[in-house]
Structure formats: C-alpha cells, structure tokens
C-alpha cells in the first residue's frame, strides 16, 4: 500500500475498510473451517466426508447456509422472548468483536496492514469479550424456558468460571515474559524464541482450557447431545441456531489465533524461512491449531461432568498457578527480559 495514501483517506474509513475485509475473511474462514472439520472427521472415521455439493464438497457451506436461512425460527411458549431472541446475537457479536484487535501480520507504518486496531491492552480486551460471550450461552439456556437448555447453561456457567481462571493464569506467564499486554508487542518479543519454549506448561494449560472455553469435545458438556439433547441451543432453530453455530466456530478460530499470537510466535517465521510472508505463517499456525481441535474431537470421548470440574479446579488451576509463580520468580532473578 502507498504510504501517502493515508494522508488523503480519513482514519475511520481505513478502519471501516479493514473491518469489512476482516469480517469477510473471518466469515469465509468459518464456513470452510466447518467443511474442513467435517472432512477431517470423515477421514478419521473412514468416510469421505461431504462430497456431493460441488467439487470436493466445496459448496457445502453455501448449502448449509441456505438450509439454515429457510428453516422456521421457533420460539417456545415458555421462553422469555426478548432474551431468547437476543442471546444468539450476544454470542455472535462478542465472537466477531475479538477480531478487531487480533494482529494478523506485521503492521505497516501507515496503518493499512496488521490488526484493525492495535489496542495496548489487547489481551485484556480479548478475554473481556470472550467472557461476555458466555452470557450468550447462559442466557440462551435460561431464556429457553425448557429443562435441557437450562442444564446446559448451568453447566456452561460453572465450566467457564473454572476454566477461565486457569486460562488467564496460563496467559499471565506470557504477559510476564513479554512485559506487555499489547498483542503486537507480545509477538515482537517472540522474534528470537517463541514463548511455547519457556512457557510449555502454560501452553498445555492454555490448549486444554481453550477447548473447554469454546465448548468443544471432549469438553462439550454444554451441548452434550447424548444427555442434554442439544444443551443450551435445544430450542433454537433456523438462523438463530446458525448464529450460535457461527459463534462456536469463530470462538475456535479466535482461540487458535490467540494461541498463535501468545505461544507460537504469531507471524514470526521459523528459522531461515523468512522469505514466506508473515501472514502465511500466522494463518498456517492458526490452521494447525484448528486441525488439532478437530483431531481432538474425533479422538477423545466427552469427559464426565464431575471429572471436568475436578480436573479444572484440582489439577489445572494449581499447575497454572505454580507455572505463574515459577515464571515470575525466574524473571525477577534474570532481570526484566526473558
């Protein structure tokens, strides 16, 4: 992009254009991560996966979208209509909002590239938004006026509380190493060594909690179709169910991006492979993480609810705390830089 262009284009327009592009890319990514999941799961279950819609099933997301849009949007009689109708939007808006601060590549001086906005407390913004996203699920279950969604939302609340703690703990280790809460700075700090090396414990904890945070198998107790029908979204149909669906996958993409930024060096290339552009590195790492998610889903069965709680409180939290304390002590001995 031409640096002088910034002089003629107002900042708000730049942000608007960048938002539109990111939104478009993210929604497309969502659509194809869904297809990717169904394909990979199919392969792992000795099936070819969707392959009837277009070549290699590539039109499947479009077909699904059309299906969702034309289905009837039902509201149960016992539901609280306002909250019931609002809940999917809370989930979706927060899931989309986080992409405002995620830097995808090395920013250029004129602000045309990189993140939409480089918030200096980016990581806090991310966690704040994803915490609000839980309200979408909790309220959806509560407002459905039906027992299974209620159980799902109760589980969701408990699960989020227990896993978000450990997640924040695991992330604080990175913040100590980087000495900043700005995602840009955190990535810059990883130019020499990715934080996955000094923070391997933190990384493992982050990965586990991220799965729980996004309600994915084996921690998908919030949906748990074998016991709760559909969990919090049992009563939802049509486009509103679709919004929850989008939100779930966007959250998956988000936590993959965060893992990439915090632990896998963001757009920093592997040694000697600098000729590949940073954005490719970023996307490749995030995609790898997404693949791991799907891999995990096909491999492990759903964990029992009490064990989930046990694991969160009695294992993850103490280990995360220990990791945090050790990191802090080591850093304070070594000086301010890791």
d(C-alpha 325, C-alpha 26), whole Å: 36
Nearest approach in angstroms of CB 160 to other proteins is 21
Query: Quick check: 328 binds other proteins (CB under 8 A)?
Result: no
Query: Taking CB under 8 A as the rule, does residue 274 contact other proteins?
Result: no
- Closest approach of other proteins to the CB of residue 54, in Å: 15
Q: How far apart are CB 256 and other proteins at their closest, in Å?
A: 18
Residue 156 near residue 144 (C-beta atoms within 8 A): no
- N-terminal to C-terminal alpha carbon distance within the chain: 35
55 binds other proteins (CB under 8 A): no
Residue 56 is a binding residue for other proteins (CB under 8 A): no
Torsion sign over Cα 190, 192, 194, 195: negative
Binding mask 113-152 for other proteins (x = CB under 8 A): ----------------------------------------
Distance separating alpha carbons of residues 197 and 210, to the nearest angstrom: 19
Q: Minimum Å distance from CB 71 to other proteins?
A: 25
| Helix 200-213 and helix 147-178, axial crossing angle in degrees, nearest 10 | 160
Report the alpha-carbon distance of residue 294 to residue 300 in Å, rounded.
10
> Residue 301 has what DSSP assignment?
P
Count of residues interacting with other proteins (CB under 8 A): 15
Does residue 200 belong to the site contacting other proteins (CB under 8 A)?
no
Taking CB under 8 A as the criterion, the residue among 40, 96, 151, 257 binding other proteins is 40
Task: Rule CB under 8 A: say whether 337 interacts with other proteins.
Answer: no
Residue 219 as a binder of other proteins (CB under 8 A): the answer is no
Interface residue with other proteins among 46, 82, 273, 334 (CB under 8 A) is: 46
Q: What is the 3-state secondary structure (H, E, C) of 122-184?
A: HHHHHHHHHHHHHHHHHHHHHHCCCHHHHHHHHHHHHHHHHHHHHHHHHHHHHHHHHCCCCHH
How many CA atoms lie within 13 Å of 121's alpha carbon, on the beta-carbon side?
5
Options 295, 325, 329, 332; binder of other proteins; rule CB under 8 A: 295
Q: Which of these segments, 18-26, 219-227, 259-267, 292-300, binds other proteins (CB under 8 A)? A: 292-300
Per CB under 8 A, 23 contacts other proteins: no
Binding flag, residue 51, other proteins (CB under 8 A): yes
Q: Which stretch binds other proteins (CB under 8 A): 119-127, 139-147, 240-248, 296-304?
A: 296-304
Name residues whose C-beta falls within 8 Å of residue 105's C-beta, 6 or more positions apart in sequence.
113, 114, 267, 277, 278, 279, 282
Instruction: For residue 203, give both structure tokens.
Output: 């990384």
Dihedral over alpha carbons 224, 228, 232, 233 (to 10 degrees): 90
Applying CB under 8 A, among 9, 300, 322, 330 the residue interacting with other proteins is 300
Binding site for other proteins (CB under 8 A): 40, 43-48, 51, 295, 298-300, 307, 311, 315
């Amino acid at each position: 992009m031409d640096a002088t262009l910034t002089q003629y284009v107002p900042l708000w327009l730049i942000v608007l254009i960048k938002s539109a592009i990111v939104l478009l890319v993210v929604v497309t990514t969502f659509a194809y991560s869904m297809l990717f999941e169904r394909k990979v799961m199919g392969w792992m279950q000795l099936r070819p996966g969707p392959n009837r819609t277009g070549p290699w099933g590539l039109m499947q997301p479009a077909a699904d979208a059309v299906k969702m849009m034309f289905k009837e949007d039902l509201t149960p009689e016992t539901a609280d209509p306002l909250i019931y109708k609002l809940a999917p939007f809370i989930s979706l808006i927060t899931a989309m909002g986080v992409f405002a601060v995620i830097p995808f590549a090395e920013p250029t001086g004129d602000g045309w590239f990189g993140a939409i906005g480089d918030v200096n407390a980016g990581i806090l913004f991310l966690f704040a938004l994803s915490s609000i996203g839980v309200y979408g699920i909790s309220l959806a279950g509560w407002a459905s006026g039906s027992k299974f969604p209620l159980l799902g939302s109760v589980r969701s609340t408990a699960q989020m509380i227990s896993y978000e703690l450990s997640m924040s703990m695991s992330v604080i280790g990175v913040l100590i190493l980087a000495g900043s809460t700005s995602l840009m700075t955190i990535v810059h700090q990883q130019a020499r060594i990715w934080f996955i090396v000094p923070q391997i414990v933190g990384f493992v904890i982050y990965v586990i909690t991220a799965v729980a945070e996004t309600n994915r198998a084996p921690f998908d107790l919030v949906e748990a179709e074998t016991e709760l029908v559909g969990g919090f979204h049992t009563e939802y149909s049509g486009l509103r169910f679709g919004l929850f669906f989008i939100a779930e996958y966007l959250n998956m993409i988000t936590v993959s991006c965060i893992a990439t930024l915090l632990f896998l060096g963001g757009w920093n290339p592997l040694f000697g492979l600098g000729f590949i552009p940073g954005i490719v590195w970023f996307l490749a790492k995030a995609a790898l993480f997404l693949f791991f998610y799907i891999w995990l889903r096909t491999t492990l069965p759903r964990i029992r609810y009490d064990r989930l709680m046990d694991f969160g409180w009695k294992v993850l939290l103490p280990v995360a705390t220990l990791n945090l304390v050790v990191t802090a002590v080591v850093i304070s001995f070594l000086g301010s830089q890791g």
